[in-house]
Amino acid sequence: MIESNYIIHGVNGPVVTVVGGRGLAMHEMVQVGTLGLTGEVVRVEGGTAVVQVYEDTTGLAPGQSVVPTGGPLCVELGPGLLTNIFDGIARPLRVIEEKSGPFISRGLNLPALDQERQWNVTLAVRPGDAVQGGALYASCPETTLITHRCLVPAGLSGTVTWTAENGPHTVKDPLVKLTDARGRESVLKLACLWPVRRARTFASRLPADRPLVTGQRVIDTLFPIAKGGAAAIPGPFGAGKTMTQHQLAKWSDADIIVYLGCGERGNEMTQVVDEFSQLLDPKSQQPLMNRTILIANTSNMPVAAREASVYTGMTMAEYYRDMGYHVALMADSTSRWAEALREISGRLEEMPAEEGFPAYLSSRLAEFYERAGYVKTWEGKEGSVTVIGAVSPQGGDFSEPVTQNTKRYVRAFWGLDRALAYARHFPSINWMTSYSEYADELRPWYDKNVGPEFVPCRQRIVLLLHEESKLMEIVKLIGSDVLPEDQKLTIEIARTIRVGFLQQNAYHAVDTYVPLSKQLRMMQLILRLYDGAKAQIERTIPLSQLTATGIFQELTRMKYEVPNDQPEKFAGYEQKIDAALETVRAANQER
């Protein structure tokens, strides 16, 4: 054990009180006890410091040493992050398993990256080149899908005085030596360290004017999210939060996925690892893990590391954003993270606020979600981090503090409904309680890339769903038989929208992912039937004759019967709609 002037005075769960701590700094990393457990200073008062330990504190006792490291909690950034799985403080779980078996041993302070693996590096600078922050100095193929780009850190500039040779190098090897105007030399390698609680810098923030295309109709059409935006998925247990995030991770058009399992059950993370390992990326037909980072801090792992895990995931996402990639961060779930804040706050004896959460819950949520954004990097490229956070309110109560504070900082709210989930309607996003503030800002993109009809069709679909909701209140009181025919049509076409458009089968080969062009054609067909049926009803033709043709049921099945690469089959449905309307019209003319 390394001797130190800092001694443990008391232990309260993951919170350790240290005496002799006048030299310790806030957020400084320390090694606690005989095993050298990883901890972070969270309070300094006189000669006493309080440390939160990111590992199980069983066996710690007063009198044991605490050794400072001289720096904050950092994550090692470089090639090798992709395809890997880490714990909440960026330790590689596969390496830990090799060293300690299926259970994580304490005191394993392992680097995030493989220090011995060699990467085929191509240098982009030569001696004599003048470079500044954001300039590319080296690159290497990290996976078959992603090229890793090493950039000069922001704020650093100078003249290249030495470069290594192209070829195999480890993350520890020096690649470039840089001398600034004052004669100070800096050595650049494949990897670098970055404090997880500090947001990475960028040149400028750009407007979020293009959508993150997910292939999920209820999201892309009704409640879109922009690249660089932030969304929340609140819902009770069993409503499908994790399944929805799995679909977004698999099918969204982000370049890189960072999936953060924060406080979730171990079997759910096992399912994620198994699925992602077997799934092929739809765009490249390469394994999806080739562009994915998994961070697992399950419910049985130390609670303090859960609090740090969201910052670890965000820092990794920002790192690839700075290379010019579009990154989607899936956080499942922020409620478990907030519960970790509450537990640590209670052990620190801080004054509790609403429902026992700390008073700074709102500011911590803001710090997390504000790191999302669409930016111009120092290199002049465009990159983004899109944050999609699941929220697990107890009992599905959206008025609880985590959900309410999250709504203040996100612009897309996909509220899950237990009743829809129990009715096997997935994604169970309730179209009455959900919203997206990105819809109007994305309209120019939809007009240019999908068609000028997309937004008007979306608006009509939303209006019909809202009209149905109002009518169903009347139906509950007096039944549907007394409604006029045009209102019966509204209910029938809304049912077609719900079953044939909003409901989507994640396990069906055709329906699991739907491009925007197909979503538009489906809306157009539903509205074509609605307009034609409304015209017939205005001629006093009863709705029952239209439903008897079976055309409404035909439209609910088109999502399965029209493959994504065969849009010409929609013409057949147009003919079926016209034929059904003509049949009814002709039958009434004969009378």
State the virtual CA torsion across 305, 311, 316, 321 in degrees, nearest 10: 170
Beta-carbon count within 10 A of 308 CB? 25
As beta bridge partners, residue 329 has 258, 387
Give the pLDDT score at 194: 94
Alpha helices in 17-102 (DSSP H): 93-100
Q: Which CATH number fits domain 6-72: 3.40.640.10, 3.40.50.10470, 3.40.50.10190, 2.40.30.20?
A: 2.40.30.20
Distance CA 424, CA 232 (A): 22
Count how many residues are written for the chain: 591
For residues 329 and 248, is the Cβ–Cβ distance under 8 A? Answer: no
The superfamily CATH assigns to domain 204-434 is P-loop containing nucleotide triphosphate hydrolases (3.40.50.300)
Whole-number mean pLDDT of the chain? 91
Q: Are 39 and 53 in contact (CB under 8 A)?
A: yes
Report whether 213 contacts 220 (CB < 8 A): yes
Residues in Cβ contact with 384 at an 8 Å cutoff, skipping those fewer than 6 apart: 208, 227, 228, 321, 326, 327, 373, 374, 375
State the pLDDT at residue 249: 87
248-262, 292-306, 336-350: segment of lowest average pLDDT:
292-306
pLDDT over threshold 80, residue 102: no
Burial string for 89-123 (b: 16+ CB within 10 Å, else e) reads bbbbbebbeeeeeeebebebeebbbbeeeebebeb
**Over 90: is that where the pLDDT of 21 sits?**
no
pLDDT tens track for 7-20: 999 999 899 999 98
What whole-number distance in Å separates Cα of residue 560 and Cα of residue 558?
A: 5
Residue 391: the pLDDT is: 93
pLDDT of residue 22 exceeding 90: no
Query: What element of type H or E holds 204?
Result: strand 204-206
Which distant-in-sequence residues (6+ apart) come within 8 Å of 471 by Cβ? 483, 487, 490, 491
Question: Among 294-303, 383-392, 551-560, whose mean pLDDT is lowest?
Answer: 294-303
Look at residue 397 in the predicted model and tell me its pLDDT: 87
- Domain with residues 454-590, CATH architecture: Orthogonal Bundle (1.10)
**Would you list the domain boundaries of the chain?**
6-72, 119-190, 204-434, 454-590
Residue 125: pLDDT above 90?
Answer: yes
Q: What does DSSP say about strands 326-332 and 136-141: parallel, antiparallel, or unpaired? A: unpaired
Tell me how far apart the alpha carbons of residues 241 and 427 are, in angstroms, rounded to a whole number.
9
Report whether pLDDT(558) > 80: yes
Q: Give the strand order in the sheet containing 136-141.
A: 147-151, 136-141, 119-123, 167-169
Mean pLDDT along residues 102-111: 83
* 108-114: long-range contacts, CB 8 A cutoff, minimum separation 24: 109/31, 109/36, 109/38, 111/76, 112/75, 112/76, 112/80, 112/81, 112/84, 112/86, 113/76, 113/78, 113/79, 113/80, 113/81, 113/171, 113/191, 114/80, 114/171
Does 204-434 match 119-190 at the fold level? no
Mean pLDDT value of segment 42-54: 91
Is 269's pLDDT higher than 80? Answer: no
Confidence grade of residue 482 (pLDDT, cut at 50, 70, 90): confident
Contact 316, 245 (CB under 8 A): no
Going by the DSSP 8-state scheme, the letter that residue 356 receives in this structure is G
Kindly report, residue by residue over 142-200, the tens digit of the pLDDT: 998 999 999 999 889 999 999 999 999 999 999 999 998 888 999 999 999 999 999 99
| Whole-angstrom distance, CA of residue 77 vs CA of residue 91 | 12
> What's the pLDDT score for residue 1?
44
End-to-end C-alpha distance for the chain, whole angstroms = 99
pLDDT one-digit tens code per residue, 341-357: 999 999 888 999 999 99
Quote the pLDDT of residue 511. 94
CATH code at 119-190: 2.40.50.100
Query: Whole-prediction pTM value?
Result: 0.93
